[in-house]
Amino acid sequence: MKKIRGVLGNSYYSKNFDEIKYMHNTLICIDEMGIIKKIICEDDIDFNQKCKEYEQSGQLKVLEENQIILPGFVDLHIHAPQWAQSGTALDQPLEVWLNEYTFPLEAKFKDLEFAKEVYDDVVEVTLKNGTTSAVYFATVDKEPSMLLAKICGEKGQRGFVGKVAMDDPLGCPVYYKDETAEESIKTTEEFIQEVISIQDNYKQKVYPVITPRFIPTCTNESLKGLGELAKTYDVHIQTHVSESDWAHGFVKEKMGKNDAIAINDFGLMNDKTMVAHAPFLEEEDVKIMAEKQSTIAHCPLSNAYFANSALPVKDFTNKGINIGLATDISGGYSPSMYSAIRQAVVSSKMLNDGVNPALNADVRGRKDSSLTLNNALYLATVAGGKALKMPIGKFETGYIFDAQIVDTKENIPQFYKEKHEEDLLHKVLLLAQTNNIKEVWVQGEKTDIK
């Protein structure tokens, strides 16, 4: 059977942080590598001919009447093993949740059968929710982490996967850690090499990520070694930075400097670094992250539970930091980037206006913090692509065709034609559920989600 190379329908994507591009009845032409080679509009002279050509060769996909095409989402921070406990113990403080629930759960992934069961499910569930690229924390153990990389590859999701490095006996439980700093560095290096060795087995590829969990669980020696690996292999880096009052204060005390500065001093802050959370960045931290062109993985749902604050997305964006969006399973309970988009907007409005009615309106909030749905879609798509250094998130020539085909009628009220095209997009962003997502495409290939 011939591969689909032309997709015809109504589509939306983020032109920039504020603006949406709507394309009515437009043909997206995709090459064998999954790259968009041309966009043909209804009134272009070759539109009819090209549609006919694809149709005759059995390579045309025509959207149904109530369907639209949206870009696939980039989840910039998700803990794959924690999917097993999603929805658990979020009323606990971060440090209690980590020690009492999360570390014991992650330690179980040594059992490869258990790991396969959870990892098959998390990759399928996130794909079903429109996540075409995901940046995963796996666990300390290398073998199950490799298994996650292979499962992403086989199921057709673009996985960025990290074996978690954590070796500090003062911050890690005895039953769940790298034995020593050397072990932490050695297994991370082996993991990078092993992922690179299977990378090209999959059309959409799979990528290794250097993953020090966070400074409270890592020794200086291991962080230094991981910084050297970053230089040698030029791969992505992920960690948690200044997430909560506790985490921010703990690192200040341990290192005598702020989280982001320490990460930078170990050679771990560069344009491929994605730090999760980061609401407590101080002025010099913001400056260094902007200078290094690093990214914040904004986890609005998780921040509502653990961060004791909301990320000032607009302020940090205006100061030059790239910010993408993430679920942070299971600090955030929902695997859906639609939920992340919704919470990003809600949290930003609460930050903007403030929430304590005992205060006067003029001192209640942090002005110019509100995000629009358009902003949030940009974070979930184009900004994610920027962090990954890939042409992802737009339907333009040269971009990778990662997409979701969404039904705009199921679960969504439609009693009249919307005044503006964007109104329909906003309804979808706020109301769509998993079963609205009919197809998910990665690198020009339709995945087998059901």
Binding site residues, Fe ion, CB under 5 A: 276, 328
* Three-state DSSP state, 20: strand
The least CB distance from residue 306 to ligand GUN, in Å, is 5
Comparing CA positions, the residue from 3, 155, 81, 72 lying closest to residue 393 is 72
**Token pair of 88, please?**
């658990």
Q: Which of 50, 158, 163, 240 binds ligand GUN (CB under 6 A)?
A: 240
Q: Which is nearer to ligand GUN, 162 or 331 (CB)?
A: 331
**Token pair of 147, please?**
């298994």
E strands along 138-252, which residues?
A: 158-162, 164-165, 206-212, 236-241
Q: Which is nearer to ligand GUN, 75 or 328 (CB)?
A: 328
Q: Does 331 bind ligand GUN (CB under 6 A)?
A: yes
The least CB distance from residue 173 to ligand GUN, in Å, is 13
Q: Does 213 bind ligand GUN (CB under 6 A)?
A: yes
Q: Which helix or strand (DSSP H or E) is residue 424 part of?
A: helix 421-431
Q: Which of 160, 207, 214, 280 binds ligand GUN (CB under 6 A)?
A: 214
Count H helices and E strands in the chain, helices first.
Answer: 17, 17
Q: Which is nearer to ligand GUN, 140 or 341 (CB)?
A: 140
CB closest to ligand GUN, residue no? 331
Separation CA 217–CA 67 (nearest Å): 47
Name 161's Cβ contacts closer than 8 Å, sequence gap at least 6: 80, 136, 138, 145, 148, 149, 152, 195, 206, 207, 208, 209
Separation CA 80–CA 168 (nearest Å): 22
Residue with tokens 């300390």: 140
The least CB distance from residue 416 to ligand GUN, in Å, is 42
Separation CA 97–CA 104 (nearest Å): 10
The option from Fe ion, ligand GUN, none interacting with 213 (CB < 5 to 8 A, set by class) reads ligand GUN
Question: Are 43 and 99 in contact, with CB atoms under 8 Å apart?
Answer: no
**What is the widest separation between alpha-carbon atoms in the chain?**
68
Q: Which of 141, 178, 189, 328 binds ligand GUN (CB under 6 A)?
A: 328
Q: Which is nearer to ligand GUN, 61 or 252 (CB)?
A: 252
Q: Which of 5, 50, 61, 79 binds ligand GUN (CB under 6 A)?
A: 79
Q: Which is nearer to ligand GUN, 204 or 330 (CB)?
A: 330
Query: Would you tell me the crossing angle of helices 220-233 and 181-198 to the nearest 10 degrees?
Result: 20
The option from ligand GUN, Fe ion, none interacting with 335 (CB < 5 to 8 A, set by class) reads none
The least CB distance from residue 167 to Fe ion, in Å, is 18
Q: Which is nearer to Fe ion, 26 or 82 (CB)?
A: 82
The least CB distance from residue 242 to ligand GUN, in Å, is 11
Residues between 143 and 202 with contacts to ligand GUN, criterion CB under 6 A:
none
Separation CA 206–CA 355 (nearest Å): 42
Q: Is 15 exposed, middle or buried (0-12, 13-18, 19+ CB in 10 A)?
A: middle
The least CB distance from residue 336 to Fe ion, in Å, is 17
The least CB distance from residue 67 to ligand GUN, in Å, is 35
Q: Where does this chain touch ligand GUN (CB under 6 A) — which range of 38-46, 58-66, 94-102, 138-146? A: 94-102
Q: Interface mask (CB under 6 A) for ligand GUN, residues 40-59, using x and -?
A: --------------------
Question: Are 127 and 447 in contact, with CB atoms under 8 Å apart?
Answer: yes
**Token pair of 153, please?**
């590859």
Residues between 298 and 317 with contacts to ligand GUN, criterion CB under 6 A:
302, 306
The option from Fe ion, ligand GUN, none interacting with 380 (CB < 5 to 8 A, set by class) reads none
User: What's the helix, strand, coil split of the chain in %, to 5?
Assistant: 45, 20, 35
Q: Which residues bind ligand GUN (CB under 6 A)?
A: 79, 94, 98, 102, 213-214, 240, 243, 302, 306, 328, 331
